[in-house]
Amino acid sequence: MDKVFINNLQVETIIGIFDWEREVRQVVSIDLEMEFDNKKAAKSDDIKDALDYKKIGKRITAFVEKSKYKLIERLAEQIAKLVLKEFPVSSLIVSVNKPGAMRGSESVGIRITRP
């Protein structure tokens, strides 16, 4: 199966378990890898036959900006559910990274795979 991906989609949101994290917006970085059959789009050269990653990115951005989860695990799961419900992908991998969350590391995160 073909893979359509979005890398490093940066969105500001409320995320975290500490009191101060509930009051400030932080940047999370989101990566998606989505299975989608691109043969029809490759043949037609028409966006209506493709997986419109711009629409997916805008939808995820709007969702994440409004969310207020404590855990990135929950955020990743909700992103996966949204994409699988609203877009014609057969499965996906979602990664959510939280830059600067742990001293000494660039970021921490989670990667989930959902059919």
pLDDT digits (tens, 9 = 90+) for 11-49: 999 999 999 999 999 999 999 999 999 999 999 999 999
Cα 93 from Cα 114, distance rounded (Å)? 6
Element of type H or E holding 59: helix 53-66
Q: Is the dihedral of CA 58, 63, 65, 71 positive or negative?
A: negative
List domains and CATH numbers for the chain: 3-114 (3.30.1130.10)
Burial 87-97 (b: 16+ CB within 10 A, else e): bebeebbbbbb
Question: For the whole prediction, is pTM greater than 0.75?
Answer: yes
Q: Do the beta carbons of residue 60 and residue 11 sit within 8 Å?
A: yes
Nearest-angstrom CA–CA distance, 26 and 11: 8
Known catalytic residue at 98: yes
